[in-house]
């Protein structure tokens, strides 16, 4: 066989192999499209998830992740599930860790109740933290705890500088001991004081019980006096109104007194009349014979 023939046979075999592989892939895609339905799920993040990861429905493998894309601040995952699975609004789609290494799968907590989603809808999903994320959070928390411990240690050193903290503790201990000693020494006096207080409260209670009728009568008198005060207050308000009305009339020159106050001419005539009356009385006293004549016959 010539060299050219060998090349032609090899090329033909390669092309046939490529066509075979393409046909197998196409048939596989066609078969998958016939037996699967694609759902669109939105997650806050998709760390650890990749195309080809399996999808489990209540723990049973029922599909795969076909694609991931970023849309705004959300990760949209295209999920191919068996056509007999119809996701409902009571179902929950979760990115979940399945191993210590952080391998992720799409876990569907399926529920047959609720309104079904449409394949055109974007289903809200939940991202569950796995062991690596939890360990990272623990690491960050331990760093914060270490920083707090360092600050507390610095505070303790600053407070204890010069023996201040030790001296404060000693003073507190001595004060507590002295307080306990004082209580022990004055225990009898405290008991007597408490007994006197109890006797006083008992006497006060008996006094109140014995004088209950008198107290009730006094309260009744107080209520009656309060009512009388209210009536007096009402009368005073009425009198104040009358005085204000009279003052207003006087200020406007109404009535005899008002005209007397407002009319200066009337006031002058009245003053002249008073002076003439006084002069007449004085002359009458001085010369009574001038005005009165007495005759017997």
Q: What is the pLDDT of residue 43?
A: 93
Residue 170, pLDDT > 80, answer: no
Phi first, then psi, for residue 281 (nearest 5°) are: -65, -40
Q: What is the pLDDT of residue 262?
A: 62
Q: Which whole number is the average pLDDT over 93-122?
A: 86
- The answer to whether residue 66 sits within a structural domain is yes
215, two tokens? 């107290």
CB distance 106 to 95 below 8 Å: yes
Least confident of 61-65, 160-164, 245-249, 252-256: 160-164
* Total domains present in the chain: 1
* Percent of the chain with pLDDT strictly greater than 70: 72
Q: What is the pLDDT of residue 91?
A: 92
Report the C-alpha gap between 281 and 145 in whole angstroms: 115
Report the C-alpha gap between 32 and 55 in whole angstroms: 14
Residue 29, pLDDT > 60, answer: no
- The answer to whether residue 28 sits within a structural domain is no
User: Domain span at residue 106?
Assistant: 36-128
- The answer to whether residue 104 sits within a structural domain is yes
Q: What is the pLDDT of residue 25?
A: 66
282, two tokens? 């004085």
- The answer to whether residue 22 sits within a structural domain is no
pTM of the shown model:
0.39
- The answer to whether residue 99 sits within a structural domain is yes
CB distance 55 to 65 below 8 Å: yes
Residue 141, pLDDT > 70, answer: no
Q: Which whole number is the average pLDDT over 163-172?
A: 69
Q: Which residue has the higher pLDDT, 219 or 110?
A: 110
Q: Which whole number is the average pLDDT over 185-211?
A: 77
User: DSSP string spanning the chain?
Assistant: --HHHHHHHHHHHHHHHHHHHHHHHHHHHHHHHHHEEEEEEEES--TT--TT-EEEETTEEEEEEEEEEEETTEEEEEEEEETT---BTT-EEEEEE-STT--EEEEEE--S-SPBPPTTSEEE-EEPP-HHHHHHHHHHHHHHHHHHHHHHHHHHHHHTGGGHHHHHHHHHHHHHHHHHHHHHHTHHHHHHHHHHHHHHHHHHHHHHHHTHHHHHHHHHHHHHHHHHHHHHHHHHHHHHHHHHHHHHHHHHT-HHHHHHHH-HHHHHHHHHHHHHHHHHHHHHHH-GGGT------
pLDDT band at 157 (very low <50, low <70, confident <90, very high): low
- The answer to whether residue 185 sits within a structural domain is no
Q: Which of 127, 125, 126, 145 is nearest to 137 (CA)?
A: 145
Q: Of the spans 102-116, 178-192, 251-265, 272-286, which averages the highest pLDDT?
A: 102-116
């Amino acid at each position: 066989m010539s060299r050219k023939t060998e090349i032609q046979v090899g090329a033909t075999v390669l092309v046939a192999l490529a066509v075979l592989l393409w046909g197998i892939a196409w048939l596989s895609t066609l078969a998958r499209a016939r037996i699967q339905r694609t759902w669109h799920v939105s997650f806050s993040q998709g760390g650890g998830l990749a195309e080809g990861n399996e999808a489990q429905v209540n723990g049973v493998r029922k599909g795969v992740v076909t694609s991931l894309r970023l849309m705004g601040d959300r990760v949209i995952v295209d999920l191919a599930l068996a056509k007999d699975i119809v996701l409902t609004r009571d179902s929950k789609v979760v990115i979940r860790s399945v191993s210590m290494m952080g391998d992720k799968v799409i876990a569907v907590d399926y529920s047959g109740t609720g309104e079904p989603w449409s394949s055109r809808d974007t289903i809200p999903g939940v991202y569950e933290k796995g062991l690596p994320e939890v360990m990272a959070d623990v690491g960050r928390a331990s760093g914060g705890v270490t920083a707090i411990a360092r600050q507390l240690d610095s505070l303790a050193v600053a407070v204890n500088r010069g023996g201040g903290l030790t001296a404060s503790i000693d003073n507190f201990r001595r004060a507590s001991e002295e307080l306990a000693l004082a209580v022990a020494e004055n225990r009898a006096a405290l008991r007597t004081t408490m007994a006197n207080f109890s006797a006083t409260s008992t006497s006060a209670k008996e006094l109140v019980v014995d004088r209950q009728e008198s107290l009730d009568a006094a309260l009744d008198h107080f209520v009656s006096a309060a009512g009388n005060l209210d009536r007096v207050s009402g009368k005073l308000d009425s009198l104040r109104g009358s005085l204000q009305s009279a003052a207003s009339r006087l200020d406007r020159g109404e009535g005899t007194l008002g005209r007397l106050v407002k009319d200066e001419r009337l006031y002058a005539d009245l003053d002249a009349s008073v002076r003439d009356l006084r002069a007449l009385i004085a002359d009458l006293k001085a010369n009574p014979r001038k005005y009165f004549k007495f005759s017997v016959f």
